[in-house]
Amino acid sequence: MSLVAELRTVLGSEDVLEEPVELHLFSKDASLMRGRPTCVAFPENAAEVSSVVQIAEKHRVPIVARGAGTGLAAGASPTAGGIVMVTTAMTDIEIDPANRTAWVGAGVINLDLSKAAKPYGLYFAPDPSSQSACTIGGNVANNSGGPHCLSEGSTTSHVLGMEVVLAGGEIVVLGGEAPDPIGLDLKGLIVGSEGTLGIVTKALVRLLPIDPDVRTLLMDFPDVETAAKTVSDVIAAGLVPAALELMDRRMCEVVENWLKAGLPTESAAVLLAEVVGETEGVISEAEVISGIALSNGAYGVQVADTESERALLWLGRKSAFGAIAQLAPDYYLHDAVVPRTRLVETMSAIYEIADRYDITMLNVFHAGDGNLHPLIAFDSSDEELNERVHRAGDEIVALCLSVGGALSGEHGIGIEKRDMMRLNFTDLDLDAQARLKEVLDPAGVFNPTKILPEGSRCFDYGGVRREMPDGVWV
Amino acid sequence: MTYTPHHIARFGVGIEGGPTSGMALAPREEKDLALILRHASERDLVVQVWGGGTHSGFGKPPPPDLVVSMEHFGEIEVWEPDDLTIVVGAGARIADVESRLAERNQTLVMSERPSGGTIGGSVAAGMSSLRRGRLFGIRERVLEVTMITGDGRTVRSGGRVVKNVTGYDLHRLAVGAFGSLGVIISVCLKLWPTPPSSATVTLDDPEEAQLVARPLAVLDVNGAHKLFTWGTEAEVEAHLDRLGGIAVPGLDWPEDPSGEWRWSLRIPPALVSEAVDRVPDGWTYVAVMGVGEIRAASADHEGAADLREWAESLGGSLVVAAGDPDLFDPWGSPPPALDQQRRLIAQFDPRRVINPGRLPGGL
């Protein structure tokens, strides 16, 4: 039986697509890389996913799990072909207010979870900019972050358990409401593995109580460096705000032109800070942050007085990538992380790179985490420009790693950054990671060719070597 | 076994209070530790890694042939106070590092009562702070791990930045793995600022804990409910105004319960009060409210089987932190995906020389 026919016996014919136009729709995620899937499958539960895995292993075809396709690193682009397995039919939410947890289907949209939790006074902390579209399954696969993971951590800090389909179609529940499950933390390994080790069908997530009070501050600066210095100084002062986001002038201009969110467009940089907690705490923390900003030369500090003002400021921040469409049809984006003490020098050097390559670069990023998002707006049909953009991108990444940074803070490696992994890790480190993949996906069907560069496992360690004469130890 | 005088002179030490069996070695450098592990693999020797010995009661490993002391891996390698990160050798004592960090009002958010415990030992045992309800557990603090695998490879995972999704999180797998993948030699940890003011309130009414949004910790210490708060002076004062009971300035953390037998009970957070009711008479305990971790101690293991059965029925566990593993199974029912765990370990410690059999399921 053909692959598609066999999948249809399990999922029904309407849940397996193979028309060219349908395949084209699922041929890429939000990155620039397109693949060619054999078919698109929509399983509704772990049992169906298990059957799909077994069929894929039998036919030796890849499975590329996909939520909303908002990933930026081609993690969900079927670049090696195979089955694109869409999780959006798995949308159950079961909230457990007493334990402050929820079992959530992989296809649930991030924001829908927080909306469902709101009546209980709870919310889900990870809030990627794409939160109105992206799914929990995608968040788990990419260990997604967002502005508010500065104080609360990325997705991995909020996944307490999972239902996951492993190689051979084995369905396993890992973790649970009780803390510290015994044995190796496979769940912690699977979060962030971009669908390469198994398919998460449900996640047990931690919900946090909604903070009683919040202050959102908008500070504008004469240059990006003083804004970046303010970020470093706030952290050094012992404050960990809920969020600390930086936008440069060009970014503010395109957002304002589109949304009129109230961002200043005359200043070189805008810093958005949010402090949460009880009223006494947020008032004093907001004062400290204002004081640091003003002493660093901020033009001014505005505090959002109402929930609607606050919402508008965040809308401006979270719509930044969408606003780019006004400038150019494509954007190329890295998300390297640098130590927060190196922000000022790194930002200066990044602008210097953009000038040297004569490219249009905008910056909007999670400054509090040191997670940069230098965004290059361009037209990918211009081959010469395309080449320049990618060379500039490579140089930016190399710069970030040279100051002690890491390749990706929240977008993942996928294919886009795969071949840069060697800049971040030694051969032995990559070999160790490849061993994890080998053990959990012996048939090689789970999103192959992603994360690890080719040859990662080929490193010849040589096993146990004899460096001392026989008989010395025994 | 025989050792050449050269090797004994180079590595051999006595470990005060350490295991009585086995040759004790204290390598000074990474390459020496790698050499020891490679040779242990070659000769199928059992290696026990020794930090402060504070978690040596977990699991049931066979008597070691070699005991590797981590005492020479105790340096603070990089501390970036303005970045809230630290890279520190596994053998560093938590108390020593905390007192250095206190100079800049920072904390590791690890054990509050570490006695001689080391950073590597706590990470390998997966031991969290009592502040985990607010600041999460040890897994959320470890940013990078460098370890030497059972067959002598130096492997690093994670990075020295606070947010990172570069590659597989092998470092998360190493937390709580009791060295089964390799000997942790250094870790990068996310630090947290210590605010200027703090207080400990012994509550008259446990329900009053609800009056503080996300307190630092609420503990039930043998029936006394204590709320720990920190923040600006205004914040802490506001909390004290709201709460009844007896307040003392500072964070007055309880000692870990001590006894012949020590336990870690892990149940869903909503059931902590019920769990405390089920703890057998005569046990002492510290229960972390809102988390579901209860540390307990007793003179014997009477009543433990019933408690374990109840905890396991809820997806939790009752783990022996110290006791006699021949009298009471240290872990209870094995976890799921045991075969995958076994095969993962085989990739890092193929001859199974480090703490063999110490993990649940005899891994």
In chain B, which residues have their Cβ closer than 8 Å to the Cβ of A425? 156, 166-167
DSSP for A290-320, written as a single string? HHHHHHTT-SEEEE--SHHHHHHHHHHHHTH
| pTM, entire model | 0.95
- What is the domain range of residue A312? 213-322
Domain membership flag for residue B127: yes
Mean residue pLDDT across chain A: 93
In chain A, which residues have their Cβ closer than 8 Å to the Cβ of B55? none
In chain B, how many domains are there?
A: 4
pLDDT of A321 reads 84
Whether residues A187 and A249 share a domain: the answer is: no
In chain A, which residues have their Cβ closer than 8 Å to the Cβ of B137? 179-180
Whether residues B103 and B150 share a domain: the answer is: yes
pLDDT bracket for residue A425 (50, 70, 90): very high
Whether residues A131 and A172 share a domain: the answer is: yes
146-175 of B, contacting A, C-beta below 8 A: 149, 151-157, 159-170, 172-173, 175
Query: Which pLDDT tens digit goes with each residue over B144-202?
Result: 999 999 999 999 999 999 999 999 999 999 999 999 999 999 999 999 999 999 999 99
Average of pLDDT values for A64-71? 97
pLDDT at B2 over 50: no
pLDDT bracket for residue A463 (50, 70, 90): very low
Nearest CB to B82; choose among A232, A337, A404: A232
A vs B, Cβ pairs < 8 A, gives 294
pLDDT of B232 reads 87
In this structure, are residues A274 and A243 in contact, taking their beta carbons and an 8 Å threshold?
yes
Among A177, A193, A209, where does a domain finish? A209
Average of pLDDT values for B89-108? 97
pLDDT bracket for residue B256 (50, 70, 90): very high
The count of other CB atoms within 10 Å of the CB of residue A172 is: 18
Whether residues A176 and A103 share a domain: the answer is: yes
Whether residues B241 and B268 share a domain: the answer is: no
Mean residue pLDDT across chain B: 94
pLDDT at B87 over 50: yes
By C-alpha distance, the chain A residue nearest B293 is A179
pLDDT at A340 over 60: yes
In this structure, are residues B307 and B279 in contact, taking their beta carbons and an 8 Å threshold?
yes
Please tell me the distance from the alpha carbon of residue A429 to that of residue A432, in angstroms, as a whole number: 5
Among A183, A209, A235, where does a domain finish? A209
Look at residue A277 and give its three-state secondary structure. strand
Domain membership flag for residue B345: no
In chain A, which residues have their Cβ closer than 8 Å to the Cβ of B159? 337, 405-406, 424
305-344 of B, contacting A, C-beta below 8 A: 311, 314-317, 319, 331-332, 334-338, 340-341, 343-344
Please tell me the distance from the alpha carbon of residue A135 to that of residue B275, in angstroms, as a whole number: 35
Average of pLDDT values for B315-326? 97
pLDDT of B5 reads 44
Domain membership flag for residue B245: yes
pLDDT of A162 reads 98
In chain A, how many domains are there?
A: 3
- What is the domain range of residue B298? 261-321
Beta bridge partners of B322: B262
- Asked if the Cβ–Cβ distance from B347 to A436 is below 8 Å, we say yes
Whether residues A335 and A316 share a domain: the answer is: no
Please tell me the distance from the alpha carbon of residue A409 to that of residue A235, in angstroms, as a whole number: 18
Domain membership flag for residue B330: no
Average of pLDDT values for A312-323? 87
- Give the alpha-carbon dihedral of A456, A78, B170, A336, to 10 degrees: 90
Query: Which pLDDT tens digit goes with each residue over A48-57?
Result: 999 999 999 9
**Which of A307-321, B89-103, B119-133, B303-317 has the weakest average pLDDT?**
A307-321
In chain B, the percentage of residues whose pLDDT exceeds 90 is 91
Average of pLDDT values for A377-392? 94
Domain membership flag for residue A14: no
Whether residues B161 and B201 share a domain: the answer is: no
Beta bridge partners of B320: B263
**Closest listed residue to residue B243, CA positions, set B201, B184, B292, B193:** B201
Residue A287 parent element (H or E) = helix A279-295
**Which of A67-71, A389-393, B1-5, B286-290 has the weakest average pLDDT?**
B1-5
Please tell me the distance from the alpha carbon of residue A201 to that of residue A162, in angstroms, as a whole number: 8
In this structure, are residues B189 and B85 in contact, taking their beta carbons and an 8 Å threshold?
yes
pLDDT of B197 reads 93
In three-state form (DSSP H/G/I as H, E/B as E, the rest C), the secondary structure along chain B is CCCCHHHHHHHECCCCCCCCCCEEECCCCHHHHHHHHHHHHHHCCCEEEECCCCCCCCCCCCCCCEEEECCCCCCEEEEEHHHCEEEEECCCEHHHHHHHHHCCCEECCCCCCCCCCEHHHHHHHCCCCCCHHHHCCHHHCEEEEEEEECCCCEEEEECCCCCCCCCCCHHHHHCCCCCCCEEEEEEEEECEECCCEEEEEECCCHHHHHHCCCCCEEEEECCEEEEEEEECHHHHHHHHHHCCCEEEECCCCCCCCCCCEEEEEECCHHHHHHHHHHCCCCCEEEEECCCCEEEEEECCCCCHHHHHHHHHHCCCEEEEEECCCCCCCCCCCCCCCHHHHHHHHHHHCCCCCECCCCCHHHC
Average of pLDDT values for B71-78? 97
Whether residues B80 and B159 share a domain: the answer is: yes
